[in-house]
Amino acid sequence: MIRLTRLNRAPMVLNSDLIEHIDVTPDTVITLTSGQILRVRESAEEVIQRIIGFRRQIFGPDGPTPTPEESLTLASSESQE
């Protein structure tokens, strides 16, 4: 969850897992997977940095631990290089 500010200065908390994409127009426009559109005061880069910070709090600085299946896939692709 990240804290953002709507254009009318109303604070909000957004589940960043629901972000489909972010458009940069004069405003920062966030489209959610539901199709809902949010306009916020923060820049797209600031939104991205907040998402990264939130995920680091959850997963730690090294990111999530891959599942055993993902580890096998990574090892296989590295050995082919």
pLDDT at 77: 55
Domain coordinates of the chain in residue numbers?
2-62
Q: Higher-confidence residue: 75 or 29?
A: 29
The pLDDT tens digits of the residues spanning 6-59 come to: 999 999 999 999 999 999 999 999 999 999 999 999 999 999 999 999 998 988
How far apart, in whole angstroms, are the C-alpha atoms of residue 33 and residue 13?
16
Q: Which residue has the tokens 């254009």?
A: 7
Q: Which residue has the tokens 């993902």?
A: 70
CB-count exposure of residue 15 (10 Å: 0-12, 13-18, 19+): exposed
Name the E strands within 1-81: 2-5, 11-14, 19-24, 28-32, 37-40
The pLDDT tens digits of the residues spanning 47-58 come to: 999 999 999 898
pLDDT at 81: 47
